[in-house]
Structure formats: C-alpha cells, structure tokens
Structure 1
Amino acid sequence: MNFKKIRTLLFALTFSMLSFTQVYAANYTVKSGDSLFKISILFKTDVDTIIKNNNLKSSEIYPNQVLYVNSSTYTVKPSDTLYLIAKKYGIALNTLIAANSNVDKYIYPGEVLNIPAGWIFKSTSSSGSIVPYSESDLDLLARLVTAEAEGEAYKAKVAVAAVVLNRVQNSRFPSTIKDVIYEVSGGYYQFTPVYNGWINKSASQDSKNAAYEALYGSDPTNGALYYFDDSTTNTWLWSKPIALRVGKMVFVY
C-alpha cells in the first residue's frame, strides 16, 4: 500500500471517529419530582433543546419516561465506586447519582453511567434569576424549605421557595429574601421556623435544588403568597383561593 492510500485511509478513519463522538445522546429516565428545568441544569442544556430532541409537545414529563440528553458516559470498571468516579470527573457524588436514574449506592462492572456536565445546585451567580440574591440568601431560602417541607414531595419544596419569591415581588411584603423570611407582622413571625429556631438547621440537597429552581422561575403555585398545613383551623387562611395542594401542604393566593 503506498503512502497516499495510507494517508487517505487514516483521514477517513479519523473523520469517522470524529463524526461518531461529536454528539452523543444518552438515556435519562425521569424520576418523581423531576422537571425539564431541573434536568436541563443537570445536563447543562436548556428546556427547548430537550423538548426538540425528544419531540415533546409540551414541557410536561412523567416518572419513568425515557428522555434523550446530550451527555458523556462512562463504563464502570471492577475497581470503581461512585465516589471515585465522581472524583475522577470533578463532580459532586449526589450530582452523579442524580444523572443516573437506576443508581443509588451500588454499581457493577460494565454498567454505563451518564456523566453530567452541569450541576444540580449552583450558587455562583444571580444572573437570570427572577429576584436578586446572594449565596447567603440562597442558603437561607433552602434552610426555610428544609424546615417547612423536608418530609414532603419535591414539588412542595419548590412551592415553598416560590411563595417567598412571590412575596419579594409583591409590594405588600419586604423586597428581599432575607427580609421576607424574617418579617414580623402584627407581632407574629411570618414563618414558624424563624420563631422556633428550625431555620438554623442545615439545608438538605433537595431543598437547595428546589430553592435554586424557584429562583430561576419555577413556581408550581402560579403566584401563591401563603402556605399552611392542612390540619390548621385558621379560617382566614382556608378562606383564600387554593392554588395547589401537595401532601399535607396547602398553598393559597
């Protein structure tokens, strides 16, 4: 074989390899509490791209639905652990787990894992958020979500954060996240965790995710300003139009 033919063969082989690795669509199975917004953050893409790539008619998704996402992948080796793989790619362990629907604690050789390019919780910039915030604001909001809705579904957590942000944007309430959460009106704290000290407990990762999602526009309540436990006997709260009910939590306008 002469040099010209070898060069042509190598070029064709290289082109073929580049064409194969240029775009890779990985499978992601939707979990309870997921939204396209949350998935887009995880895989560092946008909602419109996910909708287009999956021929979706709307942004509605459901548990166990399989979506195609652009993601790098990794094949598990015998000596691997989730921690070592996360460390290898410089991502948080819970981020790696979140990107792989069937993974919890155990993995096995030959299993193919998605390696997400994004992050499920970001706190470096408020660019694009519906209200300005600092890292301390985000932490405070996430701690409130943990205190109020830790035992509830993820949707309720996003809704709690959304209520705070709806107040920030409403002229009847203070204009910052911190001032809304610590507001005292008529001699009463507006949020019980501030009164009983639960606001000082560390936020769970789910609550951090929910706070971040709400900050960037997700609001399952569509504008609610109040929430309460369905065991309350407060007739004033029950008299308000109900925006959303999730588990034991009721959100009203």
Structure 2
Amino acid sequence: MKKKLLASLLVVGLLTSFTQVADAAGSTHTIQKGETLSSISDQYAIPAAAIKRSNNLSSDYVIAGDKLDIPASVSQDEKALLARLIHAEAKGESYAGKVAVGTVVLNRVDSSEYPDSVNDVIYERSASGHYAFSPVLDGSISNKADSESVRAAEEALQFRGQGQNSLYFYNPDTATSTWVSTREQTIVIGNHVFAK
C-alpha cells in the first residue's frame, strides 16, 4: 500500500513539474492566495523582473485572482543557441557588451512585437526575407561559443527583464540599415549602440 501511495505521489509530482514547464512556454498564471511574485518566479524558473516586465508591473505586489502572463522559458538548446549568437555578434566586445547582446534577444522574446522563443527570434526573417541577425545569414551562428559567451548568456537569463528595454543593437561603422539609427538610443557599449 505504501509503495502504491509513494508511486502515486511521484507521478503527481512529475505531472505537476511537466505542467509547470509546459505552462512556462508563454502561458497565463492565475495568482492563488498566498502566492508572491517571488514564489511564482520560482515555480516557473523565470526571473521576477521578466514577469514584471511582461505584465507592466511597477511593484512586486500581486493580487490573488489576477492573471499574469508568464514569459516563455528557455531550453538548454536555446541557451546554447543564444551563447553562439552572442559569440558571433559580439566577438571582441567587452563582457558587458556580450551580456547586452543576449539581453536584446530576451527582450524580443518578451515583447509582443517579436516571436515567443529564443530560437524563433534568432531565426526570424523580415517581410523582405532578411534575417534579423547577420550570423544566421553568414553561417557563423553554427560556430561553437567560447566560455565567456556561455557565461554572458547565463547572466542575461539571470537578469532577464531588467535593463534598458533595448530591442536593437548595431555597429554604426558597419550597419547597412539607416532605419535602426532612428530608434531611441539606450546605451553604447564598445562598438555597439543599443536602442529601443
């Protein structure tokens, strides 16, 4: 009898875990009595700042019964892809510049203007068929990321939802589009201008 009860509890626990992971893929969470933004953040393994940003919250205060949009979680494969993009886009830039490039991708994932996953943001094409990121076009996205780019991707994920809300970055010396220079500049790090 104890074995059956233990097995049942294990199955329920696994189903709950799988449900939370599945729900974390861009879902809605109804706040339960006693929950806090921190406990919801822990439940979905999404930084509280990302949840706040996705819901335009100015404080950590949440109300039972209200609904929160939960940003999409990031898989291990997507973390590796993000690190490769950082490596390709920000090679030779400072560590802060690498983190900022990763943050732009995550800001796009959390924005209603862009796709809801790291993979889809990185491989997104414009209406004219151009890729958003040049390493996808030139194939350097396939190159292995160095350890600093892997750390930068992890840090960008840890601080997801914080920062300047940048959705774009470009090198003014090499950029071919003049449109991006019309966007509101948020910060300059190394050779990259970040904008929203």
Pair in the same fold by TM > 0.5: yes
Q: Could you say which structure has the higher helix fraction?
A: 2
2:187 alignment partner, one of 228, 239, 244: 244
Deviation at 1:128, TM superposition (A): 3.5
1:191 alignment partner, one of 129, 133, 153: 133
**Residues 202, 145 of structure 1: alpha-carbon distance in 2 compared, 3 angstrom cutoff:** same
- List structure 1 segments (4+ residues) > 3 angstroms apart after TM superposition: 128-131, 218-221
Letter in 1 for 2:169: Y
Counterpart CA distance in 2 for 1:220 and 1:228 is 20
Instruction: Tell me the equivalent position of 1:210.
Output: 152
Alignment of 1:25-174 (within 5 A): 127-129=45-47, 130=50, 131-174=72-115
Aligned partners of 1:143 and 1:199 also within 8 Å:
yes
Q: Residue by residue, what CA displacement relative to the aligned partner does 1:56-103 show, whole Å, maximum 9, x if unpaired?
A: xxxxxxxxxxxxxxxxxxxxxxxxxxxxxxxxxxxxxxxxxxxxxxxx
Aligned partners of 1:158 and 1:210 also within 8 Å:
yes
Instruction: Tell me the equivalent position of 2:118.
Output: 177
Where 2:170 maps in the other structure, the secondary structure is: strand
Counterpart CA distance in 1 for 2:181 and 2:161 is 21
Q: Residue by residue, what CA displacement relative to the aligned partner does 1:184-207 show, whole Å, maximum 9, x if unpaired?
A: 112110110001000000011111
Deviation at 1:220, TM superposition (A): 7.6
Q: Residue by residue, what CA displacement relative to the aligned partner does 1:87-131 show, whole Å, maximum 9, x if unpaired?
A: xxxxxxxxxxxxxxxxxxxxxxxxxxxxxxxxxxxxxxx824444
TM-score under structure 1 length normalisation: 0.48
TM-score under structure 2 length normalisation: 0.61
Counterpart CA distance in 2 for 1:251 and 1:222 is 9
Where 1:202 maps in the other structure, the secondary structure is: coil
Counterpart CA distance in 2 for 1:128 and 1:202 is 26
- Gaps of at least 5 residues in structure 2 are 1-43, 51-71
Aligned partners of 2:98 and 2:152 also within 8 Å:
yes
Identity %: 41
Counterpart CA distance in 2 for 1:206 and 1:221 is 20
Letter in 1 for 2:158: Y
Q: Which has the higher contact order (CA 8 A, sep 6+)?
A: 2
Where 1:203 maps in the other structure, the secondary structure is: coil
Please provide the CA RMSD for this pair.
1.7
Q: Residue by residue, what CA displacement relative to the aligned partner does 1:120-179 show, whole Å, maximum 9, x if unpaired?
A: xxxxxx824444011100000000000000100001100000000000011110000000
